[in-house]
Structure 1
Amino acid sequence: MQRKVIIAGGGTGGHIFPAIAIANALKKIEPDIDILFVGALGKMEMEKVPQAGYPIEGLEIAGFNRSNMLKNLLLPFKILKSLGQARRIMQRFQPDVVVGVGGYASFPMLKQAQRKGIPTLIQEQNSFAGKTNKLLGKKAKKICVAYDNMEVFFPADKLIQTGNPVRNSITQSAVSKEEALAHFGLSKDKKTVFVVGGSLGAKSINEALLPLLPTFEGKNIQLIWQTGKPFYDTARSAAAPYATQVKVFDFINLMDFAYKAADVVISRAGALAIAELCVVKKPVIFVPYPFAAEDHQTSNAMSLVNKKAALIIKDHETGTQLGTTLFSLVQNKALMEQLEQNIGTLGNANADMVIAKEVLKII
């Protein structure tokens, strides 16, 4: 009997890539399993999921808009409409289980599944659970989490600490440091810093780096800089005089190469980025995105900082603190080793398989 799974959610790479990793793990265990993704129309999952080889249907749903209150007037209608669309998808596809990975489409699908008595599993990626997941958690069969103390948000008997799924291209990468540096045209005799601000880039980090470019050259430190599309042209022209040492990209597809080349990473503190950094064991300076819902990025980062597994700079202090913190870390071998050792103990390269097995258990 072919089993059927709906995986709902998305909105950002942080939700989509773990969802695809769970789907791949389900296929590995049960090759003939039927998987349907449900996302939000116009969001990046509508492109990334088909690229990974899975079908996806889109709901007309949006989130609460904090910057434009007028747009929220339509929100109740969009939620009602998406609940209707979700109900029709359920009737047509008849899933055995629905998995929610967070993001807008998660709520209508899990809500309708729970109304119909279809088992649901929530994959909560952050250390601070969002409002919708807290609501849905009451009726979910299982909640897979990545952080300690999540019983503050969810019924303790439903929690399973699995860690966050990380893409196979990172967990199973065989690239050597020499190959990675050669790929970026960098020297193996210099320290390398990798800066990544999520798939869209991070304005505060990008702006703080501009005046530091001469210092990178002066201190003989190399930089791999993922800027995101909006800042790419600015960064590229600023980096032109330092082209041998500063490599600028709007987006990096081969993340395993960038991680392997790096001695230190500067990153936002989304759940996916943290899961990857724990697996690749890199000293990291987090600059949490301050406008994430419930400021969950700060809470994610602090759970590592408190274990002496990372450093943190507040977003509004990036301009004054980034250079000092970064250059003193690169020169402090003992601190780099300590951060590397401690972050390495928190990684779980097997989270996708653990979660997939839990999904199949509740059918």
Structure 2
Amino acid sequence: MTGPSIVVAGGGSAGHIEPALAFADAVRRLRPDARVTALGTERGLDTTLIPARGYPLELIPPVPLPRKPSGDLLRLPGRVRGAVARVREVLSGVDADAVVGFGGYVALPAYLGARGRVPVVVHEANARAGLANKVGARFAEAVAVAVAGSGLPGEQVVGMPLRRSITGLDRVALRAEARAFFRLPPRGPVLLVFGGSQGARTLNTAVAEALPGLVRAGVAVLHAHGRGGQAAPPAPGYVPLPYIERMDLAYAAADAVLGRCGMTTVAEVTAVGLPAVYVPLPHGNGEQALNAAPVVAAGGGVLVEDAELTGERALAELLPLLTDPRRLAAMGAAARASGHADADERLARLVLDIVYRHNLESARGAVGSDDRATEVLRPDPRVWRQQ
């Protein structure tokens, strides 16, 4: 028998694509004979990120999900129908065993196209679920979430699937190499600051104001100020970059983080065991603060509202932490304990188990016997679970 055929729907932004690909990598590790196909559109990063990771990409028409009443809302049903028809073509072509969606405008037609045909599994990355996952969760076989309290029915907390280069990171072993890579001082505390690919004005302003005090305390700063953001004036031990490609080395070089609290950021920072001062976006539905809440409650981080982050507040929060090795170690351990570094494999096992059970039921119906059904489903069903 050929291996399971899994279709993932996580296109659009990196926040949807990366967990989908981390999950796909875990499926391949557990089942080397598995076939994973990604759904995406010509918009966003789909055509760049997905093929680069070695996964076949099937394009469907984009279905933007309007957040407010507009003309786009009136056109939505027609767009959905076209995308759903294309999804069903893909599912048939790859003989799909399951669809796993990660939210966004690719996920909605994927869920609707799979409904009644193959099992659906939903993964919600944020503390508050988006429209696509709210729809998919109504008929999903399982609903996995990164943090509790999504509001989706029957949620199971598995965490956020992450790249193995992050979850398997040995910060101590890479520390010297990482600091040399960024031209940071080999000794002394290092603060890592980042606010997404476009940067964050509040963080950049606070760093500029706090930098003299950090330098006097012997703290070096690795600052990703964003492609459109402003770096602070030059200072000893200050390394500004518009964007950090090697986040694994950035985490290895750092002792603490100052940053936003999107779910991917929180998941990565906790997975590598770094204490953090989290500054949630001041707009949206408040989900960023909720993303960081479990880490803060566990003692692995501090939450500072965007409007309250000044250079003075940054120094007040960071200097006592960065100059106290025992507190750094304790908060780092609390951060790591609050995370889910194995989320990729937990989700993969969940999906593979669902596929196995559905295939077993189908085989039982075809041959009329449990023993014969197990024979049809070779290899040994225990291989599906890879416990």
TM-score range, shorter chain: 0.7 to 0.9
- 1:18 equivalent to 2:19? Answer yes
Give the letter for the 2:133 counterpart.
Answer: N
Q: 1:290 to 1:9 in 2, by over 3 A?
A: farther
Distance across 2 between alignment mates of 1:83 and 1:269? 33
Whichever of the two has the greater Rg, that structure is: 2
CA contact (8 A) 2:114 2:120 kept: yes
Matches within 5 A, 1:301-320: 301-319=292-310
After superposition, the C-alpha distances for 1:206-236 in whole angstroms (9 at most, x for unaligned) are 23222333333333211111122111xx32x
CA contact (8 A) 2:10 2:104 kept: yes
- 1:209 equivalent to 2:207? Answer yes
CA contact (8 A) 1:288 1:297 kept: yes
SS of the equivalent of 2:6 reads strand
Q: 1:185 to 1:80 in 2, by over 3 A?
A: same
Distance across 1 between alignment mates of 2:75 and 2:209? 43
Q: 1:298 to 1:77 in 2, by over 3 A?
A: farther
Give the letter for the 2:184 counterpart.
Answer: L
Residue 199 (structure 1) aligns with: 197
Distance across 2 between alignment mates of 1:110 and 1:288? 30
Q: 1:71 to 1:18 in 2, by over 3 A?
A: same
Distance across 1 between alignment mates of 2:19 and 2:293? 22
Identify unmatched segments of 5+ residues in structure 1. none
Residue 382 (structure 2) aligns with: none
Distance across 2 between alignment mates of 1:288 and 1:11? 22
Q: 1:149 to 1:42 in 2, by over 3 A?
A: closer
What's the CA shift for 1:299? 0.8
CA contact (8 A) 1:171 1:349 kept: yes
What's the CA shift for 1:80? 4.1
Distance across 2 between alignment mates of 1:333 and 1:71? 54
Distance across 1 between alignment mates of 2:283 and 2:27? 34
After superposition, the C-alpha distances for 1:126-154 in whole angstroms (9 at most, x for unaligned) are 2322233122112111122232355x431
CA contact (8 A) 1:40 1:104 kept: no
2:260 alignment partner, one of 265, 268, 273: 268
Q: Give the TM-score normalised by the residue count of structure 2.
A: 0.82
- 1:296 equivalent to 2:287? Answer yes
Residue 46 (structure 1) aligns with: 47
Residue 279 (structure 1) aligns with: 271
Residue 141 (structure 1) aligns with: 141
- 1:60 equivalent to 2:58? Answer no
CA contact (8 A) 1:9 1:101 kept: yes
CA contact (8 A) 1:313 1:322 kept: no
Distance across 2 between alignment mates of 1:121 and 1:72? 26
Q: Give the TM-score normalised by the residue count of structure 1.
A: 0.87
Residue 380 (structure 2) aligns with: none
Identify unmatched segments of 5+ residues in structure 2. 356-387
SS of the equivalent of 1:190 reads coil
Distance across 1 between alignment mates of 2:76 and 2:225? 32
RMSD, matched Cα:
2.4
SS of the equivalent of 1:193 reads strand
What's the CA shift for 1:26? 1.1
CA contact (8 A) 1:60 1:81 kept: no
Distance across 2 between alignment mates of 1:78 and 1:229? 34
Q: 1:140 to 1:14 in 2, by over 3 A?
A: same
Distance across 2 between alignment mates of 1:49 and 1:284? 30
Residue 347 (structure 1) aligns with: 339
SS of the equivalent of 1:154 reads coil
After superposition, the C-alpha distances for 1:232-284 in whole angstroms (9 at most, x for unaligned) are xx32xx44x32x41112222222121111111101211222111111111110
Matches within 5 A, 1:55-204: 55-58=56-59, 59-64=61-66, 75=76, 77-114=78-115, 116-149=116-149, 152-155=151-154, 159-174=155-170, 175-204=173-202
Q: 1:313 to 1:26 in 2, by over 3 A?
A: same
CA contact (8 A) 2:6 2:99 kept: yes
What's the CA shift for 1:65? 5.4
After superposition, the C-alpha distances for 1:298-333 in whole angstroms (9 at most, x for unaligned) are 111122222222101112222363343223432345
CA contact (8 A) 1:268 1:287 kept: yes
Give the letter for the 1:220 counterpart.
Answer: G
What's the CA shift for 1:121? 0.8
